[in-house]
Structure 1
Amino acid sequence: MQRLGKKVKRGATVLGIGAVLTTALIGCGTSPSNNVSGGSNSVPSTGGAKPVTVRYSEVIRSIFYAPQYVAMAEGFFKQQGIKVDMVTSEGSNKGAAALLSGSADIALVGPETSVYIYNQHGGKTLKVFYQLTNTDGSFIMSHKKINNFKWSDLQGKSVISWRPGSAPQMVLAHDLKAKGVKANVITNIAPQAMVGAFESKKADFIQVYEPVASQLEQSGKAYYDTSVGQAIGNYPETAFEATSSYVKAHPKVIQEWTDAVYKATQWINSHSATQVAQAIKPYFTGTPVNLIAKSVDRYQKLNTWKTPVLSKAELTTLQNVLIASGTEKPNQRVKYSDVVDPSFAQKALNGK
């Protein structure tokens, strides 16, 4: 398992489907190494300069974040002269805390964390510099197969979701309200216990990411119902962030990181889901390649990795959801420039 500040253990043994699902859910896929700049056969390293080590915290381990694993596996970070020292925080709140404490340089978190921290008016703020995912990546699963699922099927039912104030929890709440559905959304179960609670029939439905959704399907313990992201449409679910002071002090590193991930996204767009699965499988030990490919295909169909620029309109959507959920007050809306610096992603898009 990867946890903040801990090394990744090699060769994790998979003890049944329950262990596999729990491992994937809480972000514990095994990577080739804690230092994962990548060793591609197709992308050469640039020059002979010593690589810059970036201490990186990912929010959870999920195929939803495939571009970053491709950037590692196919050597795009290495090409940019970056050595990635990766850990898994198991939550945007923990990833943001790592940035603020100085134990991480860059983190993949929900952009709402930048809003929360800015509104605390503390000594540090966080800046989004690359939007990795353009919609929510979770799915609703049920114990029994529901033909022609409708959101009204959740009326009066229980759903295991994520912690209050987290992106998936707030997006689900938004979708339910938009559909006029009242469900019992359970938000007090720790991520590592969610699958076990669902299998123990603690709820009728569960909200999970890939590859857990496909693993539950294959095990016969759950059935796919719907995409939470498809219901809300464009939504800035996760982004690469750093403290404003780090961005200012290390613009070259930020640009190199941005370029590496953007090139990885382009690589994904020009390769099949199976080829992507083969590339990232070292980060999902215990998950069959066919299930990884199914997960990638599911996210590609959602147009998950559409653009690296978090737009003003998307920030407005985000803050509308925060206000509706009660985690931000209407008078706490932040300005775009307070929490987003789009210049690095724009340069990547323009090939500069």
Structure 2
Amino acid sequence: MRRLAATTVLAALLVVAGCGSSSDDSSGNGSGGVDRVKVGLIPIVDVAPLHLGNAKGFFKEQNIEVEVVNISGGSIAVTGVVSGQFDFAFGNVVSLITARSQNIPVKAITVGNSSTGKPGADFGGVVVPPDSPITDAAGLAGKNIAINNLNNITDTTTRASVRKAGGDPSTIRWTELPFPDMPAAVLGKRVDAAMVVEPFFTIAQNQGARVVAYNFAEAIPDMTVAAYFCTEQTIDRRSDLTERFKAAMDRSLRYAREHPDEARQVLQTYTKIDPAVAEKITLPAWPAEINRASVQTLADLMLTDGLLKEKIDVAELLP
């Protein structure tokens, strides 16, 4: 039912996309003033570069004033961008692939973040209670696993990990929970496991949870997890604004990559993380470009899992 509902909502947004409220001014602000933009972000470590770059004035230098709107996942990001609630958003690439497969005109403009590619040293994974009988990814088959949104990169890569370990991912039951609620849900045994990312990944482990799978790192080497995106309409009608946002975002990503300590510190401005925890978390990779091959592999996994009806080329989605 949730999958059907999500598909129906996204399909309905095609109508909205044709009459969005974005300005027809292809130069962005035209008058030389400041463009005020709303950006949909999940309050997790992945988006630290945008918060850091905003604090450093990188967006101001591009005559952009950013208003951050917190969201829970990629499908909500897509809905918000297409409906005009957000000008730009951060979303996992599986949600973006799903949207494109339904002819919803979203397009990535720059990379968001990537897996470190290192099982045992990545910024997310599947955790279980300390006394759980589950010891590896195969043991997740048939269990109830918490994810932030259905049909996105968290469940797609968890299925891949279970499949590689010899388990049957089709038997998994999924429960949607916001990332901040996952540590308590696991420790309280309201779910058997949770696929969680930083800073809540470290918080869960500090509270006794055990890691049984590093699904991002195990699914695809050097996998692009997410991207910053907007609608094709925004790119066409507000091309200058889109280029300036990308320039500020790319500089922010580079700065976070080169100043990891500051990336940790900025977490305290948009999450309720203890400074001691911030020092321990594993940061994601913030590369200069999207790993296009990894995005295509994710699309192929989605076809295997039945999230896509036919094989698609992701080139139209990517910048």
TM bucket (normalised to shorter chain) is 0.7 to 0.9
Q: Superposed, which structure 2 residues align to 1:1-352 within 5 Å?
A: 50-58=33-41, 60-121=42-103, 125-135=105-115, 137-144=123-130, 150-152=136-138, 154=140, 158-182=144-168, 185-191=172-178, 194-218=182-206, 220-232=207-219, 233-273=221-261, 275-284=262-271, 286-295=272-281, 298-300=282-284, 304-311=285-292, 313-331=293-311, 333-336=312-315, 338-341=316-319
CA-to-partner distance for each residue in 1:159-202, whole Å, 9 max, x for gaps? 33344311111111111112212466331333375444323213
Structure 1 residue 145, shift from structure 2 partner: 7.2
CA-to-partner distance for each residue in 1:208-261, whole Å, 9 max, x for gaps? 11111122233x242344422221223232111111010111222222222222
- Percent pairwise identity: 17
* Length-normalised TM-score, structure 2: 0.77
Change (3 A) 1:238 1:269: closer
Q: Which runs of 5+ in 2 are unaligned?
A: 1-30, 116-121
Note if contact 2:202-2:277 (Cα within 8 Å) is conserved in structure 1: yes
Change (3 A) 1:315 1:143: closer
Structure 1 residue 152, shift from structure 2 partner: 4.2
How many pairs are equivalent?
278
Q: CA RMSD in A?
A: 2.6
Secondary structure (helix, strand or coil) at the match of 1:238 reads: strand
Structure 1 residue 61, shift from structure 2 partner: 0.8
AA of the residue aligned to 1:80: Q
Give me the whole-angstrom Cα distance separating, in 2, the residues matched to 1:234 and 1:53. Answer: 34
Equivalent position of 2:23 in the other structure: none
Instruction: Say which is worse superposed, 108-117 or 166-175, in terms of deviation.
Output: 108-117
AA of the residue aligned to 2:253: T
Q: Which runs of 5+ in 1 are unaligned?
A: 1-47, 342-352
CA-to-partner distance for each residue in 1:86-141, whole Å, 9 max, x for gaps? 112212111111111112111111223333333334xx511111121123853122
Give me the whole-angstrom Cα distance separating, in 2, the residues matched to 1:272 and 1:86. Answer: 21
Note if contact 1:140-1:226 (Cα within 8 Å) is conserved in structure 2: yes
Change (3 A) 1:328 1:117: same
Structure 1 residue 204, shift from structure 2 partner: 3.4
